[in-house]
């Protein structure tokens, strides 16, 4: 599958788009005001230890306390490496971070109060960005990703990406690493390592070992809390993590990052130097490649399918719900065939949107109900196949009798809407506001509750123009009845600055 990396850089933000066969598949955004911290290494202070949930809160200097689970504390055991490899195989290879252990599962680690003490100092790495109101998730199992290898200085093991399928190549690479790696350290052989020479691996290993030595030296004299090591910029991470044999071109629209990428490639993969281009045309680069349109589409709730069906994506705090509908598609044959065709067409779009929007956590997909077991199996298998291309770990449960599929997808960073959108100040995130009649009736009830009713005078009402128009045009009799009931004249005026649900009532 031919791919391209399109990199758009401004003084405010850097955006990296991965195009597969000309279609936007992934979007990574880094803003100067809100730079990501996943992969960064910090010297921190243990603030509180909570034996009840076997976790600790630490201060890494980001304002919010970072969360450290007991299984993420360095123990240098075989089991730690197995966890890391399992997570790496399932999709974490792309970022080279240690795995996120599951809270709620019985831990085999010693009690956290026996491992850590409050006010002690610790070197940790961020494995999950702060998301919403939650602080960063951290681990003391440090990992340093290179082009070909991931260095695990706290673990003495060697693993290899399952995407390298040739047994002879797997054996060759493992033999090289076992022959050259420092004693007491661990390495994971990345997919990009396939076909690499011994010299390539030696150079990558030496770089990572030297980097770790520098981190340790810096940490020894650093204050607490402080950042010891910052991961690469989003554009260089894209070269390191997304560049594969399928990527034909890297196109950058700014000279400075172009030079940085060239220098990075000269150091780590000089054979790819001539695939990097500097974009110098008048059109904005994301416009020229149709990316802006796809980004706008990825922020909407409703996505239409070619057949006339559509899917709805709703994100809540706890989960993401995806609903499949036939919409305008009526088909030409049996109803069961129409339903199956819509569900299968929706799967391609669902897998695409999950990856592009970086949806994570619990995802519930409500397919159109199918009567035949064979149809349900086909939809299940098609979804699993469609998600295999996703580099992020997913776990799909069997379809329920109600036609629901429950799945989980690992969350490391904020999803696309969380990065690009904020809560609507008008509806306050509800997605709905009261109708004009509902607000008008609220106004009438509020007038009747006004203190001092029953004595002569006036009541003044200020409200949104739509509400005022409705009261005068449709509910003038209600206003007259209210005047008779409270024995006051009611004067209503509009205020164009008001939210539609906002109104004021006062007496003179």
pLDDT in tens, 137-183: 999 989 999 888 999 998 888 899 888 889 999 999 999 999 999 88
Q: Please give the average per-residue pLDDT across 112-117, as a whole number.
A: 89
Distance (Å, rounded) from C-alpha 250 to C-alpha 5? Answer: 5
Cβ burial, residue 275 (10 Å; 0-12/13-18/19+): middle
For β-strands 55-59 and 66-69, DSSP reports them as antiparallel
Cβ burial, residue 486 (10 Å; 0-12/13-18/19+): buried
| pLDDT score for 345 | 93
**Is it the case that residue 89 has pLDDT exceeding 50?**
no
C-alpha dihedral sign at 135, 150, 186, 162: positive
Give how far the C-alpha of residue 358 lies from the chain's centroid of Cα atoms, to the nearest Å: 4
Q: Worst-scoring range by mean pLDDT, 127-141, 301-315, 443-457?
A: 443-457
Closest CA to 409 of 315, 324, 281, 340: 315
Cβ burial, residue 245 (10 Å; 0-12/13-18/19+): exposed
| pLDDT score for 344 | 93
At 57, give phi and psi (nearest 5°): -105, 135
Cβ burial, residue 138 (10 Å; 0-12/13-18/19+): buried
Report whether 460 contacts 503 (CB < 8 A).
Answer: no
In DSSP notation, 148-166 reads SEEEETT---EEE-TT---
Distance (Å, rounded) from C-alpha 38 to C-alpha 251? Answer: 25
**Is it the case that residue 194 has pLDDT exceeding 80?**
yes
Distance (Å, rounded) from C-alpha 119 to C-alpha 208? Answer: 30
Distance (Å, rounded) from C-alpha 279 to C-alpha 291? Answer: 15
Compute the mean pLDDT over every residue in the chain, rounded to the nearest whole number.
85
Q: Please give the average per-residue pLDDT across 415-429, as a whole number.
A: 81
Report whether 366 contacts 404 (CB < 8 A).
Answer: yes
| pLDDT score for 95 | 38
Task: Give the angle 236-23-297 at the CA atoms, nearest 5°.
Answer: 100
Closest CA to 81 of 148, 165, 152: 152
User: 106: pLDDT confidence band, cut at 50, 70 and 90?
Assistant: low
| pLDDT score for 316 | 83
User: 98: pLDDT confidence band, cut at 50, 70 and 90?
Assistant: very low
């Amino acid at each position: 599958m031919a791919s391209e990396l399109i990199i758009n850089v401004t003084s405010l933000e850097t955006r990296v788009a991965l195009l597969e066969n000309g279609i936007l598949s992934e979007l990574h955004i880094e803003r100067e005001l809100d730079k990501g911290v996943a992969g960064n290494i910090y010297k921190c202070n243990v603030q509180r230890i909570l034996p009840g949930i076997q976790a600790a809160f630490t201060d890494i200097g980001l304002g919010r306390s970072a969360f450290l689970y007991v299984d993420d504390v360095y123990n240098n055991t075989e089991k730690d490496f197995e966890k890391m490899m399992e997570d790496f195989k399932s999709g974490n290879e792309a970022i080279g971070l240690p795995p996120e252990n599951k809270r709620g599962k019985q831990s085999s680690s010693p009690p956290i109060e026996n491992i850590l003490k409050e006010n002690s100092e610790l070197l940790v790495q961020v494995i999950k960005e702060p998301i919403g109101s939650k602080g960063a998730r951290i681990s003391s199992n440090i990992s340093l990703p290179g082009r070909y290898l991931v260095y695990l200085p706290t673990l003495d093991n060697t693993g290899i990406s399952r995407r390298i399928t040739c047994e002879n190549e797997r054996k060759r690479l493992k033999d090289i690493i076992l022959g050259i790696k420092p004693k007491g350290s661990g390495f994971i052989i990345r997919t990009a390592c396939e076909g690499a020479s011994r010299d390539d691996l030696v150079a990558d290993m030496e770089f990572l070992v030297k980097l770790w030595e520098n981190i340790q030296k810096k940490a020894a004299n650093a204050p607490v809390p402080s950042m010891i090591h910052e991961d690469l910029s989003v554009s260089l991470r894209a070269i390191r993590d997304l560049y594969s044999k399928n990527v034909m071109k890297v196109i950058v629209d700014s000279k400075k990052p172009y030079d940085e990428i060239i220098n990075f490639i000269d150091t780590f993969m000089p054979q790819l130097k001539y695939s990097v281009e500097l974009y110098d045309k008048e059109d904005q680069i994301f416009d020229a490649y149709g990316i802006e349109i796809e980004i706008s589409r990825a922020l909407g709730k409703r996505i239409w399918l070619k057949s006339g069906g559509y899917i709805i994506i709703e994100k809540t705090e706890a989960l993401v719900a995806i609903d499949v509908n036939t919409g305008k598609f009526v088909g030409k044959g049996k109803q069961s065939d129409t339903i199956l065709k819509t569900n299968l067409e929706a799967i391609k779009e669902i897998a695409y949107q999950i990856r592009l929007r970086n949806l994570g956590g619990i995802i519930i997909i409500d397919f159109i109900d199918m009567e035949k077991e064979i149809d349900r199996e086909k939809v299940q298998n098609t979804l699993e196949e469609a998600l295999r291309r996703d580099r992020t770990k997913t776990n799909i449960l069997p379809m329920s009798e109600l036609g629901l599929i429950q799945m989980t997808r690992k969350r490391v960073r904020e999803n696309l809407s969380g990065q690009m959108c904020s809560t609507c100040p008008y509806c306050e995130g509800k997605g709905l506001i009261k109708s004009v009649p509902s607000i008008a009736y609220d106004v009438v009830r509020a007038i009747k509750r006004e203190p001092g009713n029953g004595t002569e005078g006036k009541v003044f009402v200020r409200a949104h123009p739509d509400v005022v128009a409705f009261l005068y045009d449709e509910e003038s009799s209600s206003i007259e009845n209210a005047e008779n009931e409270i024995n006051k004249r009611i004067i209503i005026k509009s205020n164009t600055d008001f939210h539609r649900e906002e109104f004021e009532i006062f007496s003179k």
